[in-house]
Amino acid sequence: MSERQSTAKLIAKHIEDPDAQWSLGTFGGIAEFGRDRDEHVVIGLSDRSLSAVTPRGGIRISPSEAMTPFASESIARLGWAHRVSLCLPEQDCAMNQRKVLTEIGPDDAPLRTSDHGAILFDLGLDVKQADLCIRVADPAVAAELRKSAGRNVFDPANPAMRIILAANPHRVFVSRIGRAEVYQPIPSANGKSPDGPHTHVLPKLLQHRRTHAATEPVPDGFVPCAHLYPQHPIKDAFGREKPFDDASHYAFQELLEKFGAPEATALKSRVIALVEARQGPESMPTALDRLSRTTVRVALRQLKAKGHASAALNAWLALHEHAEEDETDDDTQTLGH
Percent of the chain with pLDDT over 70: 94
Q: What digits encode the pLDDT tens for the residues 88-147? A: 999 999 999 999 999 999 999 999 999 999 999 999 999 999 999 999 999 999 999 999
The total of structural domains in the chain comes to: 2
Residue 264: is its pLDDT beyond 50?
yes
| Same domain, yes or no: 278 and 217 | no
164 and 283, same domain (yes or no): no
What's the pLDDT at 3?
Answer: 79
Evaluate if residue 276 carries a pLDDT over 60: yes
Report yes or no on 173 lying in a domain: yes
Residues 283 and 225 in one domain: no
142 domain-assigned:
yes
Both 67 and 166 in one domain: the answer is yes
Confidence at residue 326, expressed as pLDDT on a 0 to 100 scale: 52
Residues 187 and 268 in one domain: no
Domain end point (choices 176, 211, 229): 229
Cβ-contact 196, 336 below 8 angstroms: no
Per-residue pLDDT band at 334 (split at 50, 70, 90): very low
Based on the domain organization, do 138 and 265 belong to the same domain? no
Mean pLDDT value across the chain: 92
Highest mean pLDDT among 24-33, 181-190, 318-327: 24-33
pLDDT at 215: 86
Domain that holds residue 305: 261-325
| Residues 101 and 191 occupy one common structural domain | yes
Final residue before a domain boundary, out of 229, 247, 273: 229
The C-alpha atoms of residue 43 and residue 40 are separated, in whole angstroms, by 10
Banded pLDDT at 337 (limits 50, 70, 90): very low
- Both 293 and 219 in one domain: the answer is no
Spatial neighbors of 133 by CB under 8 A, at least 6 apart, are 104, 120, 121, 122, 123, 171, 172, 173, 174
In a domain, 243, yes or no: no
**3-state SS, residue 72:** strand
Q: How confident is the model at residue 2 (pLDDT cuts 50, 70, 90)?
A: confident
Q: How many CB atoms lie within 10 A of CB 181?
A: 28
Question: Per the domain annotation, does 90 fall within a domain?
Answer: yes
Q: Do 206 and 306 sit in the same domain of this protein?
A: no
Confirm if 46 and 57 have CB atoms less than 8 A apart. no
Among 209, 229, 249, which residue terminates a domain?
A: 229
pLDDT in the model for residue 325: 52
3-state helix/strand/coil string of 216-261: CCCCCCEEEEEEEECCCCCECCCCCECCCCHHHHHHHHHHHHHHCC
d(CA 215, CA 205): 14
| 84 pLDDT higher than 50 | yes
Residue 251 resides in a domain:
no
Domain annotation covers residue 244:
no
For residue 193, the model assigns a pLDDT of: 81
pLDDT for the residue numbered 138: 97
- Percentage above 90 pLDDT, the chain: 84
Q: Is residue 321 part of a domain?
A: yes
Residue 337 lies in a domain: no
Q: What is the pLDDT of residue 188?
A: 75
User: Which residue(s) pair with 71 in the sheet?
Assistant: 84
Judgement on whether residues 214 and 309 belong to the same structural domain of the protein: no
User: Quick one: 104 and 151 in the same domain?
Assistant: yes
Q: Based on the fold, state whether residues 216 and 266 are members of the same structural domain.
A: no
**pLDDT at residue number 329:** 42
Residues 6+ apart with CB under 8 A from 273: none
